[in-house]
Chains A and B, each alone.
Chain A
């Protein structure tokens, strides 16, 4: 996908600087999109003057136009405002899921890979068990057990990602542990904990980062699916998945599905593109 930066057309100063950073234009675009999404979630009031909750009943089911970019819904609420105000919850819950997956998975993988022996055997079985339950079903029973709320959907999604990060971290730790510089550190008198924190952890985390970014995109999708099934916060919350779920009852006015779906897809695409770029530059 690096064809854009190599193309002879990139003559402007802007793309020149991008080439200096060795960042393909699609990656720069992805970062720009993520920046907008983050801005939406931090300060939604700067991006729309409409209320996401109160609508004008006379204006219901208006198609997309200059005054209503994404049209209006069945209560006459501006859909763009609803998407913008729903961003915070969609993004932060995906973040929670990634943090849970990386922290707990990373801890399990670190212990299993670094200590080895029976700890490794026990933890490997635990990871096998987590992997054996289909991911989405696992998220569904966890969210059923702890209650239908967006934050719980995020926790459930995080739990379903623990096994994956445990595996990756474990194999990275084992790889690093056998490296020559770690052996040298042992010989020059480094303690186990020093080596773990100074050498193993930084090296493992470098390859976990792109995967964490990838998991962020996947978490957005899973949390949207849980919201779509009604396992997140109820309306008037406006998580992206919930918006699509409401829109499906009004397919005669298709923008109610297409607009929030478009935002979701573009966001996840950008996140995945960044992740792929991070993996390649490593």
Chain B
């Protein structure tokens, strides 16, 4: 680990902390300053049956009578010490509410990511082996098709085909194996389309590099060329793409949980939105930002270690993307 890497790592870490703090402030501003004042509209809603005294108590307990900057300061210092505040509706700590539903969402998101990876690899690597005549076009069309399908539609089609027609699972029992598997498939397909898009582009790019031509001229077979020369350089950038799709997985689980009737962070968001439980929403959104920033930080720190061709220049890192110029995979970059 060189000195340049450590400087780069320290700089990225500092940036990540700043972004997380600012993201918290940003969500706070969105939920508390925008017009509409959801808080009083919920508390004064006659359906909820709060008396004037109770309303005053809730407002005092939440600190809503203080000026906004003071509220923000209290919320931010609570957030930094791990105190996410109290739910406005159920009178329980927000952290408890989230902890209850987190395992179910982690299982769903983890399984969804696994499905996405396997599917993306099958499709992308398939394009190198399926000849043009026998449906390579279909494989190449996979990303653009599934980036055009709303993800709740995938879930509904799966429920209709496998739940209703074939009777593999029942929506009434959302935590059974089959129901979880299909929920993961519904969540994973749009994400896999994104990963496959990058993988296919990378494979095409690597196959045109001079080292691939040299290898071919030596009479190397399609399979050997793929395994020895294309697989690794084309697949490594996916580390960064996976990190970017974490946001997609978090947002997608909100919808997938609704479609499949699962309880989880997504259904908690839904409930908090319909009851305007702002402390819960604020906590979940800022935790979402924390997860997203951390995962991307890890990917950024890991990447230069995985790919020796990536040079850290003055603390600014080359981000590997599909639009990257050939310097990333230049002729010198034959894998050892």
Contacts and interface: CB of A to CB of B under 8 A. Distances in A.
Interface of A: 3, 125-126, 128-130, 132-138, 140-142, 144-147, 217, 221, 224-225, 228-231, 241, 244-245, 247-248, 251-252, 254, 257-258, 261, 264-265, 268-269, 272-273, 276
B242 to A, nearest CB: 14
A269 B254 contact: no
Contact of B34 (A137, A146, A264, A265): A146
5 contacts: A136-B247, A221-B148, A225-B152, A248-B152, A261-B149
B276 interface: yes
A129 B284 CA distance: 16
A221 B150 contact: yes
Interface in B124-177: 137, 144-145, 147-153, 156-157, 159-160, 164
A217 B281 contact: no
A229 B258 contact: yes
A133 B250 CA distance: 10
A132 B27 CA distance: 11
Given A224-B150, A248-B156, A264-B150, A141 B30 contact: yes
A81 B151 CA distance: 24
Contact of A140 (B35, B144, B273): B273
* Chief secondary structure at chain B's binding surface: helix
B267 to A, nearest CB: 11
B273 A144 contact: yes
Contacts of B144: 269, 272-273, 276
Q: Which of B23, B148, B152, B281 has the most A CB atoms < 10 Å from its CB?
A: B148
Interface in B248-293: 248, 250-252, 254-255, 258-259, 269-270, 273-274, 276, 281, 284-285, 288-289, 292-293
A223 B246 CA distance: 20
Contacts of B285: 133, 137-138, 141
A230 B153 CA distance: 15
Given A145-B38, A147-B36, A257-B160, A140 B269 contact: yes
Contacts of A268: 148-149
Nearest to A276: B144
A170 B31 CA distance: 29
A272 B143 CA distance: 11
B6 to A, nearest CB: 22
Contacts of B35: 146
B151 A225 contact: yes
Contacts, number: 138
B313 interface: no
Contact of A229 (B145, B153, B252, B255): B255
B259 A146 contact: no
Nearest to B265: A137
A47 to B, nearest CB: 23
Contacts of A258: 157
Given A128-B15, A129-B19, A228-B150, 14 more contacts: A126-B22, A129-B26, A130-B26, A133-B23, A136-B248, A137-B250, A144-B31, A144-B273, A145-B38, A147-B36, A254-B160, A264-B153, A269-B148, A276-B144
B227 interface: no
B203 interface: no
Contacts of B43: none
Contacts of A141: 27, 30-31, 281, 285
B69 to A, nearest CB: 19
Nearest to A231: B273
Contact of A244 (B20, B36, B153): B153
A133 B150 contact: no
Contact of B150 (A125, A130, A135, A244): A244
Contacts of B152: 225, 228, 244-245, 248
B18 interface: yes
B248 A134 contact: yes
A163 to B, nearest CB: 11
What are the 8 tightest A-B residue pairs by CB atom distance, in nearest-first order? A136-B251, A134-B247, A268-B148, A145-B34, A269-B148, A261-B153, A129-B22, A132-B289
Contacts of A225: 150-152, 255
Given A133-B288, A137-B250, A229-B255, A257 B153 contact: yes
B315 to A, nearest CB: 14
B36 A133 contact: no
Nearest to A130: B26
B156 A265 contact: no
Contacts of A257: 153, 156-157, 160
A153 B234 CA distance: 38
A273 B141 CA distance: 11
A94 to B, nearest CB: 13
Nearest to A266: B148
Interface string B28-44: 00110011101000000
B225 to A, nearest CB: 25
A229 B258 CA distance: 8
